[in-house]
Amino acid sequence: MYPHGGETATTVRVRGITDMLCGSRRPGHFEGVATIVTKLLNLVCPDRAFFGEKDFQQLAVIRRMVEDLCMGVRIVGVPTVREADGLARSSRNQYLDEDARRRAPTLAAALADCRERLEAGERDFAGLEARGWARLADAGFEPDYFEIRGPALQVPSAEMTEFRVLAAAFLGKARLLDNVPVPEPRP
């Protein structure tokens, strides 16, 4: 990907949105994602590109980058696929031992509980985030973050009607990511 070496290569940095959530824990990660995706889109020149909603921050970064750079591609979010117990499907799930796999659906349940409370009109964002964090910790997770954001990852306000609840947490050797939209999409 880098014919002249990675250390002197041109990179793409999407400001602001990459400095929160996963980006605050993994400096430079989204710069790499944005650069590689830009190269891919420039080489292939698709009309549409599909990215999963499970890594919602990555999807938001790519959408912002495409908009900011006036790239002629439509970015389509693909809904998260879940196991029967609610756990988001991920290659990371292979790192869960039997006990961790049994506890893993708590992540989806905590997100769903927060969504239900937001849909019911609750707007104590800090309280809802603390509740989600505590639920994960009580189930043996090591939470990285549990946050409520606007649909474009902006800081939420009481006037908003759409949100995204996002969480990342370690469970054993696996770092699990998940999120849910608010309100829940209806078929």
Q: Are residues 63 and 121 part of one domain?
A: no
Residue keyed to tokens 């973050």: 145
Note down the domain range covering 164. 91-182
Number of domains comprising the chain? 2
Q: Are residues 46 and 113 part of one domain?
A: no
Per-residue pLDDT for 148 more than 90?
Answer: yes
Q: Are residues 166 and 128 part of one domain?
A: yes
Looking at the chain, the number of H-run helices and the number of E-run strands are 6, 5
**Mean of all residue pLDDT scores within the chain:** 95
| pLDDT at residue 4, as a whole number | 75
Q: Considering 57, 78, 99, which residue would you say is the last residue of a domain?
A: 78
Distance of alpha carbon 94 from alpha carbon 123, whole angstroms: 36
Distance of alpha carbon 127 from alpha carbon 170, whole angstroms: 22
Residue 84 lies in a domain: no
| pLDDT at residue 7, as a whole number | 75
Q: Are residues 109 and 141 part of one domain?
A: yes
**For the whole model, what pTM was predicted?**
0.92
5-30 tens-digit pLDDT: 777 789 999 999 999 999 998 989 99
30-83 tens-digit pLDDT: 999 999 999 999 999 999 999 999 999 999 999 999 999 999 999 999 999 999
